[in-house]
Every structure is written in C-alpha cells, then in structure tokens.
Amino acid sequence: MRYYPVFLDLAGQPCLVIGEGEAADAKVRDLVEAGAEVRVIRPADYRDGDLEGARLVIDTSGDPELNLRTWREAEAAGILINVMDVTDKCRFIAPAIVRRDPLLVAISTSGESPFLASALRARLERLLGPEWGPFTALVGGVRRRLREAGVPLERQVRAYRRLLASDILGRLRRGDLDEARREADLVEAEAGADRPGQVALVGAGPGDPGLLTLAAQELLGQADVVMHDALVSPEVLVHAGPQARLVDVGKRGGRERNAEQERITAEMIEHARAGLDVVRLKGGDPFVFGRGGEEVAELVSAGIEVVVVPGVSSAIAGPAAAGIPLTLRDLAASVGIVSGHSAGSRADLRAITRLATAVDTLVVLMPLANLDGIARSMLSVLPADRPAAVIYAATTPEQRVVRAPLDLIATAAAAEDLPGPALLVVGEVVEALPKRRLARLLSEVLAG
C-alpha cells in the first residue's frame, strides 16, 4: 500500500466520530483541536444515513458489523473514512505526530509498525525540542517580510541558512526570546545587502564518519563550497548539502607544496569575498600538523571571517583505535606529538630525540618517509626493546597495526608495506593492554 500524504484543513468542517470511551474521545480531541465541527454517535445509536454531509468519518466502535456498514456508506458517498485498526477499511490513516506548531512532523510506516513510528517520534521529539515551534514562526515572519521587500530568492535562502546556523535555536531553548529576536532581525536586515562569506576550518576526524563532530556536520550542510583534503572519506562528505560544490584540493599533484598551499588559500579568499561560505575540511584536527594555523593567519590578514572547528586528531584516535592508551597510571604520565615528515635533517632528528627523552609516550605523524632514521635516533636515548607500533588507516575498515620493539619496528613495517596514512607510537603503553582490537569499528558499533 502506498499512501498520498496530506495535511487536511478541517476548520469548520463537519466530521463524525462513531464510538465511545477513550479511543473515541482522543479522536474527538484531535479533530476539535484542528477546528472541525465534530459530531459523536454512540455505536448503539447509529442509523443508516447518519454520516451524510460529513467530510470525514472515524469509526472507533470496534464492531465488525457496524464497521462494514459505515465503510460501505462512506465509500458510496465519497466520504473519507478511517475504521480504527481495520487497514482495508481506511481511506486515510493517521500518522504519528511531532507537534511544534506551526511545525508539524508526521510519521507513517504505512501501518507496518506502530512501534517503529512511535520510536521514531520519540527520537524526533528529542531532536526537535519545543524551541522549534517559536523558531519556525520566527523564520516564517522573516520569510514574509523578505518576500514583501522583493529580496531575490537566492539571498532569502542564504538568510534562512544563516538563521538555521545561528544560535537562535539555542537562545529560544534557554528562554532568551529578546536576544533570539534581535539576532533574527540582524540576519533579516543584512539579507538584502552584499555580505562576504565566511571560511570555516573544520576537522574531519581520522576517517571514521562516526568521529565527525556535530558542528562539522552542521557547517558542511550550510556550505556553498567544501574544499577537502584527499584523505577525507566519502562518508564524511555526504553531509555536504545539495548546494555545495566539492573541491578535492589534495589530489592536485604536480605542484610544489608551498605554491599549492598559496593557491588553496587564495581560492578560499576569493570565494569568501564573492559572498560564499567555505568549509575547509582537513583530516583529523585542523591545528595538528594540518597547516591550519598558517591558513587562519592568512585569511585573517585578508580580512576574512574565520571559524575553527576542532576535530578528532589521528594522533589521539589512532592509538585509541588500536587499543593503545596514550597515558596510563604508573606507566605513562606524558605524551608528545611530533612530525616525522621533515626528519631528513640531523636537526629534525635531534628534535625527535629530545622529545623522546622528555615524554613517556611519543606519537610521530607522517613517519614513513624516514621510519628507519627516526627509530635509530630514538634508540640513542631509548632502550632497544621499548615497545613500538605503526598504525595504518586508523578507524577505517582498512586499519592495520604492526607492533615490534623499537630496534625492529622499521624492518617490521617495511616487511608489511601496508597502504594508507600511518603513525608511529613509541612507549611502554603499546604493550600495556591485551593485544587485540578493543572494540569493533565505531561505525559498526553505532549500526548495532
């Protein structure tokens, strides 16, 4: 069965409820609330022809004989009827409802599962708190006035997106009506004018879409342009709205890295000046070896409005996903995070060695280009049997972990030659917990 969903305007319309008791009362209440003229007939008093003139009939009698009569009569007269709990005698069914007037959400499983319908309703009620009522009314008011003022649709839509992304919902939730109004007025006032876009530097997490923050999801949904690293997974990018242009800035090979970085920043500035909202999506956390700091500095000096949304860094999530705690009482009280990327020079290796003596647990990002050199430098200050692990493609289905003592880790990793981004962890914590994946992938856990 496929239903055609509608909301009926029953204001002042004659409607009939057949039945008595709680079920009938509930139907009467709903109809009266919708402004209908409701007549109630007790099953014993029903006479043929009683439903004449009604727009809509609900039979809650539960009496199969009466059900058949009311159904046939309604069908003959072309009146919409619902015989309660008798699917084949219903011209309409009533959905489960989340009511946040003027917002109304209706849920139907086409009668397949009332349980699912009410479970979904409970979820949606939590998602759409009571503040959604006044919020919807407020957005409606802005819309009426923008249309009256003849503001072009494109600018209207941008204003609606700003309202949705603003803290107005939060203010309404906290009962701060005046501030909510003021903020909405501001967005409305700016809707007609040219407004520069903003750039959001957003952390995409280490790979598993379950580790994306809610703020990242919201901003992705609002963005006009999403400029993302090659490492960012498609499951993360689905959160981009239909209007968003996706640009993979990680796959443009052939250019020198610094020149490429300048191109990306220049492009962001250009978009923002053209009034577009840009999300610059970076793997992990944007401020951990992601050149996020440099980008913010340049955007700010170009006068662009910038927000930074932290992400779950692979330096934190990678070891966790491999069952390696970064700190552990009595074993590791400090952590250092360092880049192995430019560890070609002696000075860089000395920096890693210095850190290796200073902290209990050492995380090296981008270690693969010179894993052997990095390990040998550490061996000048650490024991040869200090536990180490290389974690590949952490938090993704391709995750692999190679463990070995520090003096053997480079050889062990080279022998495996695994794909994907990788990081190195060195410290007693590597062997502290039982050697197995502690949990399934987060995405599997969430999916049940």
Quote the CA–CA distance of 279 and 165 in Å, as a whole number.
14
Interface residues with ligand SAH (CB under 6 A) are 206-207, 231, 282-285, 288-290, 313-315, 318, 365-366, 391, 393-396, 421-423
CB of 315 vs ligand SAH, minimal distance in Å: 6
Place of tokens 């603003």: 166
Quote the CA–CA distance of 422 and 411 in Å, as a whole number.
15
CB of 283 vs ligand SAH, minimal distance in Å: 5
Q: 387-392 and 422-426: which strand pairing?
A: antiparallel
Cα–Cα distances in angstroms (integers) from residue 269 to residues 199, 239, 274, 355, 361, in the given order = 8, 23, 9, 37, 39
CB of 291 vs ligand SAH, minimal distance in Å: 9
Contacting residues for 71 by C-beta, under 8 A, at least 6 apart:
59, 81, 83, 89
CB of 242 vs ligand SAH, minimal distance in Å: 28
| Phi, psi torsion values for 248, nearest 5 degrees | -85, 105
Contact 279, 213 (CB under 8 A): no
Active site residue 30: no
Catalytic residue among 88, 251, 330, 417: 251
Active site residue 435: no
Nearest to ligand SAH of 171, 282 (CB atom): 282
Quote the CA–CA distance of 302 and 292 in Å, as a whole number.
15
| Phi, psi torsion values for 112, nearest 5 degrees | -70, -40
Quote the CA–CA distance of 400 and 379 in Å, as a whole number.
24
| Cis peptide preceding 102, ω within 30 of 0 | yes
Nearest to ligand SAH of 138, 423 (CB atom): 423
Place of tokens 């949990």: 439
CB of 303 vs ligand SAH, minimal distance in Å: 26
Q: Is 430 helix (H, G, I), strand (E, B) or coil?
A: helix
Give the catalytic positions in this structure.
Answer: 229, 251
